[in-house]
């Protein structure tokens, strides 16, 4: 009985033409990607954090390998807006206890001699102690997680593009 149910599930998934979104995005960007992060003059520390998180997200989300620009099929040039921190929760005494970090990444994708621009936004919520300031560690982690969400937003845009082109 288990074999029949397993067969029906596998047959149902394969017969309906299901393809994961990573497959569509790989059709658009390829399996070898190079990245470049434009270093912000007013906030160079964040640019380094973004570069590391972008590279990790490319490997994890796109299931692609990082390479030099000369060997890549797709080159991504990423610029970061200045991160914003908005209070989202207050305690009973009126002190801020939670913030939302918002980041917008401007991404230009170069592929086969053509370029296309994208904007991807990411947010991350975190809490702090009442009447405390945001530490550098909390700020860096918030920027890292918000940029990972922005890269996933970029993945969704690219996947939708790939799905439309495969129709």
The stretches of 16-126 forming alpha helices (DSSP H) are 21-29, 44-62
pLDDT tens digits in sequence order for the chain, 167 residues long: 778 788 777 766 665 566 666 666 667 777 788 888 887 776 677 777 777 777 887 777 777 788 888 888 889 998 888 889 999 999 998 889 999 999 999 999 998 888 999 999 999 999 988 878 888 888 888 888 898 899 889 888 888 887 777 66
Number of domains in the chain: 1
Contact 98, 129 (CB under 8 A): no
Cα–Cα distances in angstroms (integers) from residue 139 to residues 39, 55, 105, in the given order: 18, 19, 17
Contact 123, 100 (CB under 8 A): yes
Q: What is the predicted pLDDT for the residue at 116? A: 92
pTM recorded for the entire structure: 0.77
CA-wise closest residue to 34 among 46, 51, 47? 51
For the purposes of burial, counting CB atoms within 10 Å of the CB of 20, is it exposed (0-12), middle (13-18) or buried (19 or more)? exposed
CATH, residue 151? 3.30.160.150
Q: What is the predicted pLDDT for the residue at 65? A: 81
> Domain of 96?
2-165
């Amino acid at each position: 009985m288990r074999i029949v149910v397993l067969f029906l599930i596998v047959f149902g998934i394969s017969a309906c033409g299901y393809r994961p979104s990573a497959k569509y995005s790989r059709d658009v960007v390829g399996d070898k990607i190079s990245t470049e992060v434009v270093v912000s003059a007013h906030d160079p520390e964040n640019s380094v954090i973004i570069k590391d998180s972008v590279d990790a997200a490319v490997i994890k989300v796109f299931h692609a390998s990082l390479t030099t620009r000369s060997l890549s099929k797709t080159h991504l040039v990423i610029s970061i807006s200045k991160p914003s921190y908005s209070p989202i929760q207050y305690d009973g005494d009126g002190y801020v206890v939670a913030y939302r970090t918002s980041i917008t990444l401007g991404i230009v994708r170069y592929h086969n001699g053509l370029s296309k621009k994208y904007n991807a936004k990411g947010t991350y919520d975190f809490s702090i102690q009442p009447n405390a300031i945001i530490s550098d560690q909390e700020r860096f982690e918030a920027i890292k997680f918000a940029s990972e969400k922005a890269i996933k937003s970029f993945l969704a845009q690219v996947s939708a593009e790939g799905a439309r082109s495969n129709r």
